[in-house]
Structures are given as C-alpha cells and as structure tokens.
Amino acid sequence: MGAPEFNPMEIDLSLAKRIAAARRLVALTGAGVSAESGLPTFRGAGGQWNNMRPEQLATAEGFRADPKMVWSWYQHRRRAYRLAAPNAGHLALAELGTILPSVTIATQNVDRLHQRAGSRQVIELHGNVVENHCMRCNEPAGEVSLESDELQACRHCGGWLRPSVVWFGEMLPVEALESASEAAAAADVFLSIGTSAQVYPAAQLPALAQHNGALLIEINPEPTPLSHLAEAVFRAPSAQVLPALVKAIRQVS
C-alpha cells in the first residue's frame, strides 16, 4: 500500500492568503521535486547515494580516477532526463509564476525540468547536465550526442569533456549564488521543496530568507534539518501539494 494521498483540505486559507500577497516568492528546489517524474533522489528512500559513492561519481578527483565510468553515469542520467517529463509540481510552480508578481526558482537540480515546465526565472545553482566543458582548459563545449558513452575530447586542447554540473568540492557559479542570495534576502515567502537541505551553500538560503523576514514553508515527505525553522510544513510529495497550494492561492486572490 502506498502513502496516503495528500488532502488539499490541509491547506490553511490564511496561509494561502499570505502567499497570494507575496510580492517576491523564492522556491529552493531539490531532487525530490523531480521524484514524481521518475528521477531518483540522492538521499532518503531510493536515493542514489545509498548504493553509489558521491566521491567517485560527483567529484573532479573521481572523474580523473575513472573518467569513463563517470562520463557513462552522466550519459545514462542525461538519457533519463530527456525521457522524463515535468510533473504536476513543476507545472504548478510555473503557473505560480503567472499569478504572483515575482517567482524565482533557485534549483539544485540539473535536469532542466523547471524550464521545460515553463518557469521563467530559474537559477541553476549546481549547473546543468545538458552542457559540457573541458576538464583541462575549461572551454565550453555545448551539448554532446547521447548515442554513445565514449569519452569526448575537447576540440581546443584534447582534454576530456565533462558535464557542466557543480561537483562536490567545487565553487557554485558566482553569479548564480549571488542572484539566489539576493532573491532569498528580498523574498516575502520562501518555499523549500524536495531538498534534504544538507548541501551548502544552497542549504543556507532558507535561513537567509527567514532572517530577512520571509515566511518559510517546507514541502517534503520527510523531516529535514530545516523543518524546525519552517512556519508551515507539508509532509507530502510536491506533485500533490503544489497544485493544491496554487489552487488555494487562486481561490483567495
């Protein structure tokens, strides 16, 4: 038997009114948002880091030690992302962007599903898997064919191409982190959705927003280190909560 369905009656209309009145809403999203698109999370039940090692697959050292294995894993993920479709949670966030004056999504996801759902203001904190760059000279290399898992060489220097994602131990793109921090500090409402809130610096954004006066809401079936800070918590999948929340926001607007 699966988890019980989320009951939209759980949405307090006074909370919906506070969200509806937001001038600036920011959503920090993580792998859980894409779970209902069939993409596995990293931590928690069914998480990839339960049986795979992040230091082998998501670090520059891991790539140098075994570039073929790491490249194959990303090619496999890219194929999965291409086949996946945005779910009701992604679509509801995109719809929210058409209702409120400003909705910014700061995502740790590299799957581009927010953009495919129609969200306009998406900050990619951890890069994306679509593009590549050279491991040696950093030259951007765009997209590659997903037909083969063969390593690809840089056209400029012959170094191996790597996906343009942020690996552990690497800096986040400066502009992305700055924009996300500015948006968080200026937010009236901050939603933390489908993230275990364990990976920094992304995980500091909710507290930054709350410190600057934002209403902090968490949507996650499991507790996280953030849960005790949040003013409202929805313990249910985001593909169920977000459409119901957007419907309630429309009702009170």
Instruction: Please count the other Cβ atoms lying within 10 Å of the Cβ belonging to residue 132.
Output: 22
36 near ligand OAD, judged by CB under 6 A: yes
Identify which of residues 11 and 58 has a Cβ nearer to ligand OAD in the complex. 58
Scanning 10-18, 64-72, 132-140, 191-199 for contacts with ligand OAD by CB under 6 A, the matching segment is 191-199
Residue 22 contacts residue 100 (beta carbons within 8 Å): yes
Apex 20 CA angle, 13 and 205, nearest 5: 105
CB neighbour class for 72 (10 Å; exposed up to 12, middle 13-18, buried from 19): middle
Smallest distance, ligand OAD to C-beta of residue 197, A: 7
Scanning 1-9, 13-21, 76-84, 162-170 for contacts with ligand OAD by CB under 6 A, the matching segment is 162-170
**For helices 238-252 and 88-99, what crossing angle results, to 10°?**
20
Query: Does the active-site annotation cover 126?
Result: yes
Distance separating alpha carbons of residues 124 and 223, to the nearest angstrom: 24
Residue 29 Rama label (left phi>0; alpha psi -120 to 50; beta): beta
31 near ligand OAD, judged by CB under 6 A: yes
**For helices 238-252 and 13-20, what crossing angle results, to 10°?**
80
Identify which of residues 20 and 31 has a Cβ nearer to ligand OAD in the complex. 31
58 near ligand OAD, judged by CB under 6 A: yes
Exactly one of 98, 142, 168, 231 binds ligand OAD (CB under 6 A); that residue is 168
Q: How far is CA 226 from CA 39, 41, 47, 156, in A?
A: 23, 18, 19, 45
Of residues 90, 114, 126, 133, which has the active-site annotation? 126
**What is the contact mask toward ligand OAD in residues 75 to 114, using x (rule: CB under 6 A)?**
---------------------------------x------
199 near ligand OAD, judged by CB under 6 A: yes
Identify which of residues 35 and 177 has a Cβ nearer to ligand OAD in the complex. 35
Distance separating alpha carbons of residues 34 and 124, to the nearest angstrom: 15
Residues near ligand OAD, by CB under 6 A: 30-32, 35-36, 41-44, 47, 54, 58, 108, 126, 166-168, 194-196, 198-199, 219-222, 224, 237-238
Q: What residues are annotated to the active site?
A: 126
